Amino acid sequence: MIIKKYSVLLIAVSIVLIQCKEEPANITKLVIPPPVVLDLDPTKIAEGKETFRHNTFGDEALWTDVLRLDKAILGEVNGGFGPGLSPATALSIGLKVDAEALPQSVVQGISDGSIDLNDPLTTVALLNLDAVVGVKGSFDGNGNLASVGVTCALCHSNVDDSFTNGIGSRKDGWANTDLNVGAILGFVDNQALADILSVDVATFNSVVNNWGPGRFAPVLLMDGKVTKPNGELATLVIPPAYGLQGLTHETYTGWGEISYWNRFIGVLDMGGQGNFTDPRLNDPEKFPLAVERGLYNINIPGEDLIDPKLESLLEYQLSLLAPVPAPESYDEPAAIRGQQLFEGKANCASCHAGPAFADNVLHTPEEIGIDDFEANRSPTGMYRTPPLRGVFVKANGNGYFHDGRFSTLNEVVNHYDSHLNLQLSDDEMLDIVEYLKAL
Ligand code: HEC
Ligand code: HEC
């Protein structure tokens, strides 16, 4: 009798226990907080889009007058120098072609092979159609290539490959993960760049040609730091330019807000014609080459071609939402468990907080358990919490964290587990990864 009584009690207790344990599983739908929706002006968005895609801000002064990219594209046989840049080569170093800019005859010619993709003059023809993403050619009255410049879209747009690899509809804001910026810098007349670093052209080429795709080093010609202390080449993974709604700190190390950085990269890296002042660059310890080159205070003699564009450019960037992952690309029950860990036991949400999954706070290298090399190349000495919405895209990119040091999300979560001593089980780590894939 007693035994029977106890077993009834036991069953009752276990039902209660099971119910408690099952409670979280009652959540059957993953709910991701929505992105910040801003009230934007459609006219300005349209103007900013035009700027983002097509405006060189007069950077032909660098890319044509100094680096002679136009002549490098033409090649020696067409009055330039070197082998020339055929569309085949251009595609192989990650340049993209906007299929929507191609007339039907050109689409046909590429399909049936009657258009020669190994002829640099075909590249010139594509430039004339404004079809090379992020590269803008200007033509004289006789249809000859007169100058070439680059736009924001060079690094921050991709295409959907709908026609073929590298040719498709534009995807603005998506990092061009294939773009080999170093190969482009190795291809132009780069004597002037080598001079800034006080190295010969061969040395310069040996560096930039080894950067690899989807990478760039925006402060190389300001601090001269070619390699990291561990000997690897010092590059940054080109970030996306979408999903910036609600963020106050731009760049991996929090140099400033969006328009500050747009002006920075537009003037100092693209070579656009605009003014730029930041006394933080007047630091001979951190930025000896910037001090030498007077980059902390640039006042161009002519018209500022960047400043009037910044407001609408910002509006366009803020209109670009991070992509949403397909529901079948992650395991929903695991992601639900991962969300609870992210917000609870693993404490990720203490930094990856709010609608952008970023706290708008800078963190010390020690806090996140990485070295201080890149942090110290910026005035802040810190790393900013990156937004995580759309981070699933990086599975096909060049790694996570500023320098791509982790190649998978599992590696990222493993790193946090050991650095923060989170004591997560293997299954819990996998659940967090599924949640990250769902953002
Ligand atoms: C040669 C490639 C290149 C070009 C051209 C370029 N960028 Fe970038 N951009 C980068 C790299 C690399 C970074 C990362 C810098 C860092 O974090 O220190 C970056 C960072 C950014 C960021 C910060 C993103 C974030 O999440 O913090 C924004 C915004 C941005 N770029 C916008 C632009 C705009 C607008 C233009 C045109 C005016 C432009 N970029 C031109 C390579 C480029
Ligand atoms: C102390 C604040 C902090 C905490 C806690 C934190 N992060 Fe981060 N997280 C950062 C910072 C800062 C970076 C940028 C590191 C870099 O760029 O080198 C980052 C980068 C990342 C990235 C890479 C994003 C990208 O675009 O490459 C992922 C993914 C990520 N964190 C996920 C997590 C997860 C999951 C947790 C919890 C296990 C977590 N973080 C906990 C601050 C934090």
Q: In which region does residue 390 sit, left (phi positive, over 0), alpha (psi from -120 to 50) or beta (all else)? A: left
Q: What is the pLDDT of residues 83-121, one digit of tens each?
A: 999 999 999 999 999 999 999 999 999 999 999 999 999
Ligand 2 atom at minimal distance to the Cα of residue 382: 12
Burial class (CB in 10 A: 0-12, 13-18, 19+), 234: buried
* Closest ligand 1 atom, residue 152 Cα: 37
- Please state the rounded mean pLDDT for residues 373-377: 98
Q: Distance between CA atoms of 170 and 133, rounded to whole angstroms?
A: 8
| Cβ within 8 Å of residue 344, ≥6 positions away | none
Tokens of 140: 């004289």
Neighbour count for residue 201 (Cβ, 10 Å): 14
Cα distance between the two ends of the chain: 56
Average pLDDT score over residue span 338-344: 97
Q: pLDDT at residue 416 above 80?
A: yes
Question: What's the whole-number mean pLDDT along residues 361-379?
Answer: 98
Task: Give the percent of the chain with pLDDT over 70.
Answer: 94
Nearest CA to ligand 2 atom 42: 385
List residues near ligand 2 (CB under 6 A): 252, 346-348, 350-352, 363, 367-368, 370, 383, 385-386, 388, 391, 394, 400-402, 409, 412-413, 416, 432, 436
Q: How far is 55 from 67, CA to CA, in rounded Å?
A: 18
| Confidence bin at 24 (pLDDT 50/70/90) | low
CA distance 191 to 168: 35
**Position 140 pLDDT exceeds 80:** yes
- Cα gap 137→60, rounded to integer Å: 9
Q: Is 238 in the pocket of ligand 1 (CB under 6 A)?
A: yes
CA distance linking residue 197 with residue 223, whole number of Å: 9
Distance 241 CA to ligand 1 centre (A): 7
In the reported structure, the alpha carbon of residue 283 is separated from the centroid of ligand 1 by a whole-number distance in angstroms of 22
**Which residue in this structure is represented by tokens 């079809």?**
131
State in Å: Cα 290 to ligand 2 middle. Answer: 30
Is the CB of 239 within 6 Å of ligand 1?
A: yes
Closest C-alpha among 311, 204, 227, 310 to residue 266: 310
List Cβ neighbours of 399 (8 Å cut-off, separation of 6 or more). 237, 405, 406, 407
* Ligand found nearest the CA of 274: 1
Task: Tell me which of 152, 265, 388 to substitute to probe ligand 1's pocket, judged by most ligand atoms within 8 Å of the beta carbon.
Answer: 265
Ligand nearest to the CA of 151: 1
The CB density around residue 365, as the number of other CB atoms within 10 Å, is 16
Has residue 20 got a pLDDT over 70?
A: no
The sign of the dihedral angle between the CA atoms of 57, 63, 65, 71 is negative
What Cα–Cα distance (Å) separates residue 348 from each residue in 339, 344, 345, 417?
10, 8, 8, 11
Which position has the token pair 């082998």? 83
Structure tokens at 169: 């509809």
Mutate to test the pocket of ligand 1, among 179, 235, 251, 312 (most ligand atoms within 8 A of CB): 251
173 lines ligand 1 (CB under 6 A): no
Dihedrals φ, ψ of 105, to 5°? Answer: -60, -35
Reading the block at residue 411, the tokens are 């590696």
Could you tell me how many residues make up the chain?
Answer: 439
Token representation of residue 143: 């249809």
Q: Which two tokens stand for residue 171?
A: 């995807």
Contacts of 116 (CB under 8 A, 6+ apart): 122
Mean pLDDT, all residues of the chain: 94
As a whole number of angstroms, the distance between CA 178 and CA 405 comes to: 17
Q: Within 13 A of 206's CA, how many CA atoms are on the CB side?
A: 6
Instruction: Assign 28 a pLDDT band (cuts: 50, 70, 90).
Output: confident
Q: Please choose, from the candidates 415, 408, 396, the residue with its C-alpha nearest in 3D space to the C-alpha of residue 436.
A: 408
The rounded distance, in Å, linking the Cα atoms of 68 and 381 is: 36
Nearest atom, ligand 1, residue 154 CA? 5
Average pLDDT for 281-299: 98
Say if CB 214 and CB 176 are below 8 A apart: yes
Residues 178-189 pLDDT 10s:
999 999 999 999
- Which pLDDT does position 348 carry in this prediction? 98
Ligand found nearest the CA of 437: 2
Q: How far is the CA of 19 from the centre of ligand 1 (A)?
A: 51
